[in-house]
Amino acid sequence: MYLIELSANKPSFQTIKFKDGLNFIIGGKSNEQKNKKSTYNGVGKSLMIRILHFCLGCNTIKVFEKYLKDWEFTLKFKIDYNNYTVTRKCKEQNKIILNGKEMTVSEFNEFMGSSLFYLDKVKYKNLTYRPLISRFIRPNKYSYDNYDIFIPKETEYARNLCNNYLLGLDVSLIDKKKDLVCKKKEVTNAKKIFEKDDTIQTFFKKKEKIDVSIINLEQNIEKLKNEIDNFKIADNYYEIKKEADEEQIELNNLENDLLLMKNAVGNIDKSLNIKTDVSKDKIIAMYKEAKIELNDMIVKKLEEVEEFHNKLLDNRIKRLLKQKNELKSKIKETEKQKQQLSQSLDENLKVLGAFGALEEYNSLNSKLNEYKNRLEKLNDYKELIEKYKNELNNININLQQENIITNNYLKDSREVINRNILVFRELAQRFYPNKTSGIQIDNNESEKNQNRFNVSVEIQDDSSDGVNGIKIFCYDYTVMINGYNNNVRFICHDSRLFSDIDPRQKSECIKIAEEYTNKYGFQYIATLNEDFLDTIKGGTSEEEYIEIKKIIDNNTQLHLTDNNETGKLLGIQLDLKYDE
């Protein structure tokens, strides 16, 4: 795939025509701004990259829909010997027009995936067109953080799948390891979830042996079943129980009544035993001893008093005896009533003892169900543990077998691996001639991650700020030159790639770009800041500076400035925060 032209439906847009080999888009500042510490942002260099992605089927770009609703962008490109024109409108981003035919973005991406990456022949969930094309047009500032990171939120598995696919490695090995690691995690998580159940938690707390607990539960269940089978429920159980309760209450009342009546009889007996303490004769004798004569009238009065007192006492005795007899009669009647009530209560209690209540029956069944539920969970847990051990052993065996298969694969694929090493090394030594460099590919045997291959890009012992940019440059060129599993024939880099690279290495990037695009026949598209040449001038010879300037001047396709609106890519003044 080669890019031919990027245009828009607005005359203010500065159309970019791409040619074979080098294509530079320069961003400059006005003379007024050159003396200020302002950046080269805002003229449209990074916007061009975003528009390329827009035309090549990226997700909806909301700021385009908001601020460029009347705009539509068109990209012309070539795949093999076929020319294509794709147009996408900012207000209808769910549609794409390819060579005059309207299709959905998904349909377009499927076509591009088959045409550029042969995805109709390989089917892996995360191996798709959009992540793969982003390896050739790094889409945003995050794409320049590291050589193998292109999309910020891309999963580790998806990143490794796409990167290794373009390095020519067998990605089926990656997919197999991912499946095994995920399956192992699922089995382990299922066990953990089950162990959070209250029954299993209780089992763990008691530190019981599972087989012992199961036998105990089975025996308890059998015992409860027998109790339930022999359980009898009286039809009038609750009526009998109510009657017995009432009889018990009445019996208690009779006991209290008997106690009160017997206490009353005792009190009467005590009263009957009371006698007159001083008689008339004793009083007269006391006075005689004192040599005091009592006249006849006093004696007569004493006789009258004694007679009155005796009469009162006789009446009191008669009354008490009558009350005592009445109480005895009532006690006898009450005791008879108590005896009858006790016999009736005994009969009712015998009935209640022989039969059970429905709630007691339900309680037994509830306990039986509880035991059965616990037994079922323990049996399930036991089965899960056995299954878990077997599955885990099988997974571990398969993981070990995959390790052996991968080791043999890497041994048999030395040609592919060495080619990646040699191409990268050839490029890196142009920048660091005395440093060991290359792409190291090893088997990742760890079961804690989904990575099948450990791929590391090395430029030994170099800690300069610009080494990351050089790694990105060399890595992207390695993928392009080797051309494994793709039909893309261009690389597009943003000016931020060169921001920390020293002047001599910037100069070398331009030389390599010219040499290798001619040698291998691909396009290199790069946005550069206008001061790119100024930084080179201070770090290279005059002769080399002139050479680099000539290469850039001869291959500059567009020069953007902030002199006025017309100098910017869109030809209008807009602050599009499309990285948000």
268 C-beta neighbours (distance < 10 Å), count: 19
Closest CA to 167 of 181, 149, 148, 153: 148
Q: Which tens digits make up the pLDDT trace of 326-336?
A: 878 888 888 88
Closest CA to 178 of 399, 23, 408, 369: 399
C-alpha distance from residue 431 to each of 436, 495, 507 (Å) = 11, 19, 10
C-alpha distance from residue 337 to each of 130, 246, 249, 250, 327 (Å) = 101, 15, 14, 10, 15
Query: What are φ and ψ of residue 97, in 5° steps?
Result: -110, 115
CB-CB contact of 177 with 452 (8 Å): yes
Instruction: List 16's β-bridge partners, or say none.
Output: 6
Q: Which residue has the tokens 């059998």?
A: 222
Q: What is the DSSP letter of 137?
A: B
Query: What are φ and ψ of residue 103, in 5° steps?
Result: -150, 165
* Amino acid at the residue 342: S
How many Å apart are CA 375 and CA 200, to the nearest integer? 10
* Structure tokens that stand for 12 in this block: 């203010």
Positions of E strands within 307-452: 437-443
Instruction: List 79's β-bridge partners, or say none.
Output: 82
Do you know the residue count of the chain? Answer: 580
Distance, C-alpha 481 to centroid of its chain: 42
Q: What is the DSSP string of 340-365?
A: HHHHHHHHHHHHHHHSB-HHHHHHHH
Q: Which tens digits make up the pLDDT trace of 513-526?
A: 999 999 999 999 99
pLDDT for the residue 460: 77
pLDDT for the residue 41: 53
How many Å apart are CA 580 and CA 105, to the nearest integer? 22
pLDDT for the residue 38: 42
Cβ neighbourhood burial of 468 (10 Å; 0-12, 13-18, 19+):
middle
Q: Which residue has the tokens 């961003």?
A: 27
pLDDT for the residue 430: 94
* Structure tokens that stand for 494 in this block: 């943003």
C-alpha distance from residue 58 to each of 123, 448, 493 (Å) = 20, 33, 18
- The domain segmentation of the chain, as residue ranges, is 2-169+413-567, 237-355
Closest CA to 435 of 464, 413, 405: 464
Measure the CA dihedral 29/35/38/44, to 10°: 0
How many Å apart are CA 241 and CA 508, to the nearest integer? 105
Helices 467-482, 503-520: axis angle to 10 degrees equals 0
How many Å apart are CA 128 and CA 529, to the nearest integer? 33
CATH of domain 2-169+413-567: 3.40.50.300
Q: Hey, is 76 helix, strand or coil?
A: strand
Per-residue confidence of the chain (580 residues) as pLDDT tens digits? 999 999 999 999 999 999 999 999 999 875 555 444 444 456 889 999 999 999 999 999 999 999 999 999 999 999 999 999 999 999 999 999 999 999 999 999 999 999 999 999 998 888 999 999 999 999 999 999 999 999 988 999 999 999 999 999 999 999 999 999 999 888 888 767 666 666 555 655 555 666 667 777 777 787 777 766 665 555 555 565 566 577 678 878 888 888 888 888 788 877 777 665 556 566 667 666 666 666 767 767 766 666 666 677 777 777 878 887 887 888 888 888 878 777 776 765 565 454 445 455 566 677 777 767 777 776 766 666 677 788 888 989 999 999 999 999 999 999 999 999 999 999 999 999 988 888 999 999 998 888 999 999 988 765 666 899 999 999 999 999 999 999 999 999 999 999 989 999 999 999 999 999 999 999 999 999 988 988 888 788 899 999 999 999 999 999 999 888 888 999 988 777 655 4
